[in-house]
Amino acid sequence: MFDIQQLLKEELKDSYSIEDGILCFSPKSTAESAQDKYESIADNIDFYTCLAYTDVHTQNETKSVYSRINDVLLKEFKTNSNPLFVLDVGCGVGRTLYDASTLFDNDYFFGFDYSLNMLRRAKQILLDGEQLQIDLSSSGLAPFEVIGKHLPNVHLMQGDALKLPFKSHSFDVVINTFLIDRVGDVRLVLEQIIAVLKPGGLFVLTSPLNFQKTENWKYGNSEILIELLKEFGIEELVSEDNITHTEILDARGNSKVWNALMVYGKKAFP
């Protein structure tokens, strides 16, 4: 039986709080929560959940980044014998976890995010098995239902990617989707994330190209991102450029198209 303590840094064992069944390692103050758009998305969270869990946002795409990730996982681990430990950093409402953890139902999936409200929604959908009525009336779209699951192999945790609570070399797979475009220091976040990956483990990153900070725009070039990942010991790197990710904004036909990239590779043995 799996015990979360075996993944945690020695000094953090038993030092977390639990909110609504979610382990919290870096709880935010009320002021911090009010400033974080992912917490205040509460008003807007139905729309975010819609983007995450319907085809609405992918109808113009050939393949979503989430199904591309599943393809890579299936290619690498179709026949794995030992259970995999998979970490999704910045998991949001859980759109990467939803399909991947169902495909690999004997493996352990960990969704880690800074926003407790995003995780609360992920929990309703992935763990509590709730049938959620999503209200999209403020965008002029019809309501729809998300079919919740009971996925005993999914574990959700709140914390900051810059202060990961996990021991080095804990995970067989580390994924991050649409995270590094919005963090301050891409190099530091990637270094932290890669540190918790086992040697030989698989690292998968997808990101839109419009990095929020000017100094990070260079990482929209996959060659520059690959050079950085090599510095942190990721090899056998493969990149997929020219991915488009379309999100419907409202019933009046407005949408946003994100140009995105995907990079994946294996962590070298020391």
Question: Binding residues for ligand SAM, how many (CB under 6 A)?
Answer: 19
104 vs 112, beta carbon nearer ligand SAM: 112
Residues 152-171 that bind ligand SAM (CB under 6 A): 160-162
Tokens read off for 191? 């270094």
Q: How far is the CB of 131 from ligand SAM (least distance, A)?
A: 21
Q: How far is the CB of 176 from ligand SAM (least distance, A)?
A: 7
Tokens read off for 251? 């019933």
Q: x/- binding map, residues 115-154, to ligand SAM, per CB under 6 A?
A: x--x------------------------------------
39 vs 172, beta carbon nearer ligand SAM: 39
136 vs 157, beta carbon nearer ligand SAM: 157
205 binds ligand SAM (CB under 6 A): no
Q: For residues 213, 219, 221 and 226, what is the CA-based torsion angle, rounded to 10 degrees?
A: 180
Nearest alpha carbon to residue 145 among 53, 259, 245:
53
Identify how many contiguous H helices and E strands the chain contains and give both numbers. Answer: 8, 11
46 binds ligand SAM (CB under 6 A): no
Question: Which position's Cβ is nearest ligand SAM?
Answer: 92
Write the DSSP assignment of 145-185 as a string of letters.
Answer: EEE----TTEEEEE--GGG--BPTT-EEEEEEES-GGG-S-
Residues near ligand SAM (CB under 6 A) are 38, 52, 90-92, 95-96, 113-115, 118, 160-162, 177-179, 182-183
